[in-house]
Structure formats: C-alpha cells, structure tokens
Amino acid sequence: MSISTLSKTFISTILLMTLAACHQSKTVDDQTASEPTVVAPSSNTCYDAATADLYKQQLAQAMIQPLQTLIGEQFNHLVEAQNVIAAANQAEIVLESAQENVASETASTRHCRVQLSFRLPENMIADARMFAPLVNMIPYDTRVSHIANENLVSYQNNAFIQNVDFQLLQNNGRTEIKTDPTALLRLANTVAATLLPYAINDTVVIDDQTYTRQVLLHQRTNPVPNATVATKQGDASEEDVKPVIQLQEDAAKAENTQSAQKNAADAKNEFKQVYAQLNKRWHSLDETVRASLNEEEIQWESGLDQQCAQGSETEQYTCKTRLTQERLRYLQGFSID
C-alpha cells in the first residue's frame, strides 16, 4: 500500500476533520443541544448509495476520537489519523434489508432500520495483516475478530456487518441524516483499529534516521542481537546503516499465564453481558428521550476506554463492567417500564 494512493480522498477527509474539530470546540451547552448529522443535496431512501455515502461521512467524523486514543504517544511517529480515515473512505458501504416509515413524525422524516455492510478491499486487509506487528496487532485476524466482537459488530469476509437505525430528514431539497450514536461509535472503534496497521507511513523517522516500514517490519519480526540493517536509501554504505531498533514488548502482562488469561476472559464475558443489557435499555427508551441523551451517550461511550485504561486486561474489563452497570442504573431512571 502506498500512502500516495490515498491522496484523492484527502480533500474530503480534511474537510470532515475540520468540521469535527469545530464541533469539539463548542461549549457544553452547544454540544448538548446538537446531534450527529450530515447534510447532502437530493432526496434519499433508506438503502440507496447516496444514503450510504452520508453514513460513511458520519463514520469518518466518529473515527477521529478513537484514532487519537489508539495512536497516542506510542504510535504517533508511525501513523497519522487522516490516513486511516482516508483508507476507510475507500471501503464499500451497502445498506440492505431496509425497513422504513416515512410518516412516523412528518412526511419529510424517514425512519430507517437497515443491515449495514462495511466491506474493506482485499489488498487493504492484506497490507494491514502484513504490517500489524508494528502496532502490536498479532495475530491480526484474531485481534480484528476480538475487536469487532467487543463492539458487537459481526465480521465476515473482510466486511463488518451491523444493524443500524437512523433518520433521514428532507429540508429545502437537502437530506439530513441523524444516526444512532452508540452504533456509530462501535463501528468507528472497530474500523479504526482494523485499518491502523494499513495506514502506517511509507517512511518513518526515528532518532533522525529514515526507515521504510518494510525495514521496520523486518527488524520487528527478525530481531537479531547487534545486527545492522540499511536505511531506505537503497545502496547504503556502512555509514548509512543503523543497529536494529528493538521494539520492546510488555513482558509483565498478566495474560502471560493461563490463569490470568482465564480471568481476563471471564471479566470480558461479564462486561459483554452487562453492555448488552445497557444497549437493550438504550433502545427501549422513548425516542424523544434518546434524542435528548444522544450527546451525553456519545461522551460516555467515548470516555469508557480512557477511564479504564490502567491495570491488567482483567482490571480494565472489571472497571468497564462497573461503569456500565452504573450507566445502566442511570438510564433506568428514564424508562417508563
């Protein structure tokens, strides 16, 4: 994969990130009053290509915050967020099995429930699989499946499949889409992590030395004590070589023992069960209540991983379970059951 092949999508990507940056700079009151929307000309149905493009634009905006967390300080010299988003823009979105209700509120509002398929090109997945060791995503396919599972997204044949709800509103000849923020963020988390290794820069500067990502991959997968490799400059002389960079791994993880792995798996399963209860509760709320809580729900979802980032994997899932139970009790206060 060459990052230069993504240039055709950069202009639209930069515009999307500018919009997102403006959105993040609003006051808390402004954020509470707004909902995630994208506007486009023409009249759309729940399942046509124009609606799929609108959803893809929403997804690009939603990916910004997860990417900031994924890249962080550890990988900011390897990957730029806009390259990941540009890669996502090359995916194919198909909306199927659509159910729609045109007159649920007004004649200009269309409520949609569809099966969304987000398919990544085979060459993109192949490149991501190749360079996954550079961002500690090994084995790649297993990690992608786990990430999708954690976000309640199905993964089949390079495609993420998710049932989603959204609204299409016609306003002065333009179509506005309002999405379910919870489902959107789950897909954004999954796609961002999946494409992270694909978007690694072609060349990387480390300690004032320039390396290709192929060289870094060789160093990562073939560590040889005191070995030297050439930089990207091709016919490098002795002065152009540099000792192999040792990309350190965390040997202290509790998952290194079978008992710790079992504890982590149990904690993960408990979190998934509680999270499923939260999702069920969210969709049982009255539509007007969900609309008023949309921005708050996005902020809660976005902050969950950050609040529980410390400790072992077991401790992280235990933290997520506790916070999710608290959120569940909070949302129960809005239920009319």
- Same domain for 189 and 164: yes
Q: Are 254 and 237 in contact (CB under 8 A)?
A: no
Q: Which residues pair with 163 in a beta bridge?
A: 115
Query: 24-82, pLDDT tens digit by residue?
Result: 333 323 333 344 555 444 456 888 888 889 899 999 999 999 999 999 888 888 999 99
- Same domain for 223 and 136: no
Residue at which a domain ends, from 187, 214, 243 = 243
Q: Are 217 and 133 in contact (CB under 8 A)?
A: yes
- Same domain for 87 and 106: yes
| Residue percentage of the chain with pLDDT more than 70 | 74
> In the prediction, which pLDDT does 19 show?
38
Q: Report the chain's mean pLDDT, rounded to a whole number.
A: 77
- In a domain? residue 105: yes
Query: 267-318, pLDDT tens digit by residue?
Result: 899 999 999 998 888 888 888 888 888 888 888 888 888 889 888 888 899 9
Containing domain of residue 208, as a range?
A: 203-243
Asked whether the whole model's pTM tops 0.85, one would answer no
- Same domain for 300 and 223: no
Q: What is the 3-state secondary structure (H, E, C) of 75-98?
A: CCCCECHHHHHHHHCCCEEEEEEE
- In a domain? residue 270: yes
- In a domain? residue 248: no
- In a domain? residue 50: yes
- Same domain for 221 and 172: no
- Same domain for 191 and 106: yes
Q: How many domains does the chain have?
A: 3
- Same domain for 152 and 66: yes
- Same domain for 263 and 238: no
Q: Are 56 and 191 in contact (CB under 8 A)?
A: no
List phi, psi (to 5°) of 151: -95, 10
- In a domain? residue 17: yes
- Same domain for 232 and 182: no
Residue at which a domain ends, from 221, 243, 265 = 243
- Same domain for 29 and 8: yes
- Same domain for 218 and 196: no
- In a domain? residue 333: yes
- Same domain for 184 and 113: yes
